[in-house]
Amino acid sequence: MKAMAGVGMPAELPTVLTAADGVTRCRWATETGRDLTDYHDHEWGLPTHQDAALFEALVLTYFENGLSWTTVFDKRDNFRAAFHGFAPAAVAAMTGDDVERLMTDATIVRNRRKIEATLHNARLLSQHSLSQLVWQHQPRRHHRLRTWADGRMDSPESRELSVTLRQAGFQMVGPVVAHSFMQTVGIENGHFDGCFLAPSSGAAGCAVG
């Protein structure tokens, strides 16, 4: 979602807003046509280490790539049902017949390459810990988001993570996908300065630069 990354946002708009509850949050939490306060406060950017949760975030990120963020966000429960709650072993056991069945499932995004990549990536998790692969790329210093112009679609760390995942055999994991994924699961703190969850506002995280 470009608002989360700060890319393409009008410079005159504030990056954070103080809501009626007195809490200052990233602007996208309340100003994107829906109330995403709960998602912002309790899910997006929360440090995640459990492989199934990381797998879900990675899959949803590459399904979102090239589409509207809300298209996939609104179908999250349907994706969970389609992919057995993103339990890696259960997804790894899915077959070509399951791929064909999902290609007729209008409740999810019907993209054959991404569906097949999800089964492929799940099988790799019998050989790799996704948590170990991805968390080694946590930035050593926080990239501060003071203005919209500080937003970015990828980073040196996401490019490194992309290489690591590709070398391990993962598919659909380019640097842009890797960067969005890193922010979603808290490997990189993507909250704007002034937000109560940004490192400069006292939230835990890597060193602030």
pLDDT tens for each residue of 125-168: 999 999 999 999 999 999 999 999 999 999 999 999 999 999 99
Q: According to the model, what pLDDT value does residue 2 have? A: 66
CATH number at 67 reads: 1.10.340.30
Q: For the full predicted model, state whether its pTM sits above 0.85.
A: yes
Q: Are residues 78 and 120 in the same domain?
A: yes
Q: Are residues 135 and 42 in the same domain?
A: yes
Other C-beta atoms lying within 10 Å of the C-beta of residue 18: 12
Q: Are residues 42 and 142 in the same domain?
A: yes
Which domain does 153 fall in, by range? Answer: 2-48+130-208
Q: According to the model, what pLDDT value does residue 202 have? A: 42
Q: Are residues 137 and 203 in the same domain?
A: yes
SS3 state at 43: coil
Q: According to the model, what pLDDT value does residue 205 have? A: 46
Q: Are residues 189 and 88 in the same domain?
A: no
Considering its fold, how many domains does the chain have in total?
A: 2
Q: Are residues 41 and 6 in the same domain?
A: yes
Q: Are residues 157 and 140 in the same domain?
A: yes
- 78, 177, 148, 72: CA torsion to nearest 10: -10
* Boundary residue ending a domain (124, 146, 163): 124
Q: Give the residues of the chain that fall short of pLDDT 50.
A: 201-205, 209
* Boundary residue ending a domain (72, 92, 124): 124
Q: According to the model, what pLDDT value does residue 49 have? A: 98
* Boundary residue ending a domain (91, 124, 157): 124
Tokens for 182, please give them: 């890193």
